[in-house]
Structure 1
């Protein structure tokens, strides 16, 4: 295997792990929302977990295409997506605003990881680079949606 392919596989597996983290985080967030009036937020979180399942599948296929072994776990260092571990604590008080803030932070970290992946000085096969760019755009859209919800909740809280 060429050195460039090994680097590509390592970078792709980092993104696979981030998507595992994202799935785990949103599933935990869904589980922890007890207020039935928050069905819309649960739906958004469900959509984002599904989005990461799709991303994970695409990235896994890219790793296999390059001859690598796809990651099957979450990040171990925790420096990219540790925020998800705090979600349960946040929901202890059923604070939807705080959960949205944590989710936005997680989305920031995911976007940062995709940006870093694309900025690496490696020769990306065009089809794989397009997958990463498409997924990054999708994550940016999700980030913006979470941010809008966060802003709406923050404004509603101020008016009470």
Structure 2
């Protein structure tokens, strides 16, 4: 695998995760009644959509073809969120817990790729911005959880 293929593979993995997060936030938005949570989840879905476009641009700059669609694991996770919210006495609380879990995993994955010393500076800059925004969202969702 060449350098470009390796970078492409890593970015496509993140792209798929962002598709998953976008779809997950859209699902979460549909599952809650609270306006504040709906707004938060809607903004996060839009942010992940934007991240996806930025990752696609990076992939194309390396001559790579961006992947399309969500992952099977992401689809299963959203199904779990639907089931959990249906049977939970406090669905907003359960959805917030799932959002926290997902954001923690995203930060870890971004950190792993950012720490790759072969990553081009432009890609590292994009990924660092994404990671920092996800970390901020994680902080916000944790504070939302405390108010529930």
How high is the TM-score relative to the length of structure 2? 0.91
Among 25, 50, 54, which residue is 1:54 paired with? 50
Conservation of the 8 A alpha-carbon contact between 1:12 and 1:59: yes
Instruction: Please name the residue that 1:148 is paired with.
Output: 143
Corresponding position: 1:88 with 2:82: yes
Instruction: Please name the residue that 1:105 is paired with.
Output: 101
Alignment size in residue pairs: 146
> 1:28-66 CA distances to partner (integer Å, 9 max, x unpaired)?
111122x3xx01100000000001011000000000000
Structure 1 residues 81, 134: CA separation in 2 closer, same or farther (over 3 Å shift)? farther
Instruction: Please name the residue that 1:136 is paired with.
Output: 131
Deviation at residue 95 of structure 1 after TM alignment:
1.6
Deviation at residue 118 of structure 1 after TM alignment:
1.3
Unpaired segments of 5 or more residues in structure 1?
A: 154-160
Distance (whole Å) between structure 2 residues aligned to residue 151 and residue 84 of structure 1: 23
Corresponding position: 1:124 with 2:125: no
Conservation of the 8 A alpha-carbon contact between 2:58 and 2:123: yes
Structure 1 residues 141, 17: CA separation in 2 closer, same or farther (over 3 Å shift)? same
Distance (whole Å) between structure 1 residues aligned to residue 51 and residue 22 of structure 2: 10
Unpaired segments of 5 or more residues in structure 2?
A: none
Distance (whole Å) between structure 2 residues aligned to residue 14 and residue 82 of structure 1: 17
Structure 1 residues 103, 81: CA separation in 2 closer, same or farther (over 3 Å shift)? farther
How high is the TM-score relative to the length of structure 1? 0.85
